[in-house]
Amino acid sequence: MIRISVALLICTAGCGSTAPADCPPADAASCASICDAADKGKAATPPEKSSLTAFEKSVVDPMLEDVRAGVRPFDGKSIGICKGQGRDCDEFIGTDAGVVPEGKHMLRGEFRVPKTGEWTVDLSVKCKTTTKSGDSTTTTESGYDKSYKVSYVGEERGSRLSPLYKIDSPRDRGTTECKYTLTAPHPDGDKVYEGSWTVPEKGA
């Protein structure tokens, strides 16, 4: 029994096109069957592909570049403060708007989104209002946070988040200074866009 087990191990180790020479004669038939089975198993295993074909790369590479870019501004005037409070930007004031002119305005964003995957944009607004009364000054702080789902809508325009935050200027009491952060989470590092605006006190 021990002799057969050793012979089988020798056969298995030496399998090729013929049975190994040191296989005991009594087990030559066993060697042949073992080697044949092993050779068939090797032949049935498909070779691994080491790289993409030129055609596959032409399809995959643009998709990878798009995904790696993540959610980003649609153009140079798509994130910031705009005149108006609707879907469209009537007049772009700026990413850092400074003192907002009199009237109704908004913070808005229009984003270029990858064609594949699920994507979000997180808004955070932090404001500080300073009110003066006689010789005293009062400062109050406020904040607003919200998450939005965005998706690819085409090449002609981006995914619009408008309005993100409504701004009426001026204020009846106090001057308000606000900073905003728009964050597009991404596995390779979040994409962060920042800016600010100031709403003056009426008559100041």
Supply the pLDDT for residue 38. 54
Report the b/e string of 20-57 with b at 16+ CB within 10 A.
Answer: beebeeebeebbeebbeeeeeeeeeeeeeeeeeeeeee
H/E stretch holding 178: strand 175-184
Q: Which two tokens stand for residue 46?
A: 């498909």
Residue with tokens 């994130």: 79
pLDDT digits (tens, 9 = 90+) for 78-91: 999 999 999 999 99
- Give the contacts of 178 (CB within 8 A, at least 6 positions apart): 125, 126, 127, 128, 196, 197, 198, 199
Residue 33: strand, helix, or coil:
helix
Predicted structure pTM score: 0.71
Most distant CA atoms of the chain, gap in Å: 113
pLDDT digits (tens, 9 = 90+) for 128-168: 999 988 889 999 999 999 999 999 999 999 999 999 999 99
Supply the pLDDT for residue 194. 97
- Tell me how far apart the alpha carbons of residues 181 and 148 are, in angstroms, rounded to a whole number: 13
- Tell me how far apart the alpha carbons of residues 26 and 175 are, in angstroms, rounded to a whole number: 101
Instruction: Return the bridge partners of 169, or none.
Output: 103
Mean pLDDT across the stretch 116-123? 95
**186: how many CB neighbours lie within 10 A of its CB?**
17
- Residue 12 pLDDT class (50, 70, 90 cuts): very low
- Tell me how far apart the alpha carbons of residues 92 and 108 are, in angstroms, rounded to a whole number: 10
